[in-house]
Amino acid sequence: MALWQQPVTVELLTQMSADTAVSHLGIEFLEVGDDFLRARMPVDARTVQPMRLLHGGASVLLAETLGSCAALAACPPGHSVVGLDINANHVRGARSGWVTGVTRPVHVGRTTQVWAIEITGEGGELVCVSRLTVAVLPPRGEKRTT
């Protein structure tokens, strides 16, 4: 059974991300699974730092994009999410090609969610591991129950 409580497709995610940092960096959504999302990002002039390695901030942007999109799709309709914390460990550099991120749930609760994101290079080598914690917000005007 799929985790998603709201509609989520590659096309919908792409449409939502138009004219944002996501589209500016060339992030492409690839796959929606029963409990995961997959996207890729180019390692090019938009995403590298001065040493021509993938910028850690770009990796974090990919991670937060995947985790936030997944978290929203896992919420009841009308709810929204906001990031509380993100961390990232950059374990290997990438100089060219594409990196691919996959996010999977660690915890999907009523008021918080935690998502794990792994980013790999074209050869499958681990580039970055990240964890995102989000707060789940009820629809406007609806009081949160404790």
Pairing mode of beta strands 80-90, 98-108: unpaired
Q: Indicate if 11 belongs to the active site.
A: no
113: Cβ contacts below 8 Å, ≥ 6 apart: 71, 74, 81, 105, 107, 133, 134, 136
CA atoms of 81 and 40, how far apart (whole Å) = 22
CA atoms of 72 and 78, how far apart (whole Å) = 10
For residue 126, the surrounding DSSP H or E stretch is strand 126-137
Catalytic residue among 11, 31, 64, 125: 64
Radius of gyration of the chain (CA): 15
CA atoms of 25 and 19, how far apart (whole Å) = 10
Q: Just list the catalytic residues.
A: 64
